[in-house]
Chains A and B, each alone.
Chain A
């Protein structure tokens, strides 16, 4: 089975199901993710990959079953604790989800502002992470003038800057050309090497075949 047993689990999903009206998005999924694991969640479109990602950071709530993230039971946390849960994650989306009216620097620094960092602490941290993703020279640009690959590097910088325990990437290379996709993937690898648990939802079979990592396959909402 795909579930990995061990006492260093950072995510545990127990018989998790999610449905929207009569449509079942996820059905009876049980999964154990260890700290610093690198996981691909794969499957065809509509398999439930994005739903699984959303359930982890509580972008959606489960219909049945339960999820534990770094010791937090998502079924029992209060609304006020949700921000604390989300700060454990860095989330990367296919459509980048950058704020178009904020500069690259401001988009990335927002994570640290949210976490309560002081302005003088924020600047070096943000510049360091922008340098790591190779976009420090565009820190004062606004997202609409950036290419897709650059936007995704900003999104990765935003996901990395708070040194989260878990990085979730939902089709991170879905809208990029092969070269940009390879670069983004290398960045995600470097995040993993720095100690983060990385979960990538993708249907890019070539990317999965070319890289080492556990593969979780979903078909029609069920683990195959």
Chain B
């Protein structure tokens, strides 16, 4: 029965090429738009995440801390929750680093009779310690330890960044949800219109003695096939656009910590499955009306 229905559905698709192509293109464009938004927001979120991962805590040490005390301090910090790694930067290393960074203006430092920079500890945060509150708590704890003169973690910048990040995530979620709902409605309506245009055909098939299954199965098959083809075409269009545009805009040359990636295979499959399901649901609600006596 199902094979027969699939065969009839395929014949109908071939016979109604124009109608099906219009439906598939409509679905493909809808899928393309919603996937493009997801792609953008996924990457934007990844970018912000990667940026936040770059946040480190710098603990400036008091003057003349002996090595045993420094080792003990580093051990204490390393064992704190939320710390992934710790590195000692001696005042001489910091001085040389600064001199290198300022380049031609390094002669300014020549006027100093001694190195004004303190020894410091550069603390890399663990993945579990990415929230602003956690970073604040950890830096306060570190600041309270002996031999630590001051702690810095780009507080002002991080506060602003946190606001932007949360706003971006909420906006992205809302926009993707709106586009997703719009896509649902467009696909369901496209399928409904396809069915509506075939109401006379359905009526004729009923007159010649077709039962509901005979009418329904090929229509469901067609609707699901439309959803599948539209979904796949939408994803392929996005991939093509991605491949053609991303090499021209390579943020990794600007931001070494970030690489733009296409939506995952899982997400693509979910979109195609979703598109097929919407086809099924759209067909379900449309033919219910036509199958009344």
Residues on A facing B (Cβ under 8 Å): 57-59, 61, 79-80, 82-87, 89, 91, 97-99, 101-102, 106, 110-111, 113-115, 158, 162
Contact = CB atoms under 8 A, between A and B. Distances in A.
B240 interface: no
Interface in B4-31: 4, 8, 11-12, 15-16
Nearest to A106: B11
A86 B208 contact: yes
A109 to B, nearest CB: 10
B207 A97 contact: yes
A158 B15 contact: no
B207 A114 contact: no
Nearest to A114: B210
Chain B contact residues: helix, strand, loop or mixed: helix
Interface in B197-212: 200-201, 204-211
Nearest 6 pairs between A and B by C-beta?
A: A87-B209, A86-B209, A83-B211, A101-B15, A114-B210, A83-B209
A102 B12 CA distance: 8
B284 interface: no
21 contacts: A82-B293, A83-B209, A83-B210, A83-B211, A83-B214, A86-B206, A86-B207, A87-B208, A89-B209, A91-B207, A97-B204, A99-B201, A106-B15, A111-B209, A113-B214, A114-B208, A114-B210, A114-B211, A114-B214, A158-B208, A162-B209
Contacts of B200: 97
A102 B15 contact: yes
B175 to A, nearest CB: 40
Given A80-B211, A86-B207, A87-B209, A113 B15 contact: no
Contacts of B293: 58, 61, 79, 82
A204 to B, nearest CB: 23
A99 B202 CA distance: 9
A89 B211 CA distance: 15
Contacts of B207: 57, 59, 86, 91, 97
A85 B211 CA distance: 11
A181 to B, nearest CB: 23
Contacts of B205: 99, 110, 114
Given A80-B211, A84-B209, 9 more contacts: A83-B206, A83-B211, A87-B209, A91-B207, A91-B208, A97-B207, A101-B201, A110-B205, A158-B208
B209 A115 contact: yes
Contacts of A111: 208-209
B204 A99 contact: yes
Interface in B178-204: 200-201, 204
Interface in B66-119: none
A106 B208 CA distance: 13
Contacts of A110: 205, 208, 210
Contacts of B206: 83, 86
Nearest to A98: B204
A157 to B, nearest CB: 12
Contacts of A58: 293
A166 to B, nearest CB: 12
Which among B12, B204, B206 has the greatest number of chain A C-beta atoms within 10 A? B204
Which among A83, A113, A115 has the greatest number of chain B C-beta atoms within 10 A? A83
Contacts of B16: 101
Contacts of B208: 86-87, 91, 110-111, 114, 158, 162
Nearest to A79: B293
Contacts of B211: 80, 83, 114
Contacts of A85: 209
Contacts of A89: 209
Contacts of A158: 208
A99 B206 CA distance: 12
Given A61-B293, A79-B293, A82-B293, A101 B209 contact: no
A87 B16 CA distance: 27
A89 B206 CA distance: 12
Contacts of B204: 97-99
Nearest to B8: A113
Interface string B271-293: 00000000000000000000001
Contacts of B209: 83-87, 89, 111, 114-115, 162
A84 B214 CA distance: 13
B293 to A, nearest CB: 7
Contacts of A79: 293
Nearest to A112: B208
Nearest to A90: B208
Contacts of A84: 209
Contacts of A61: 293
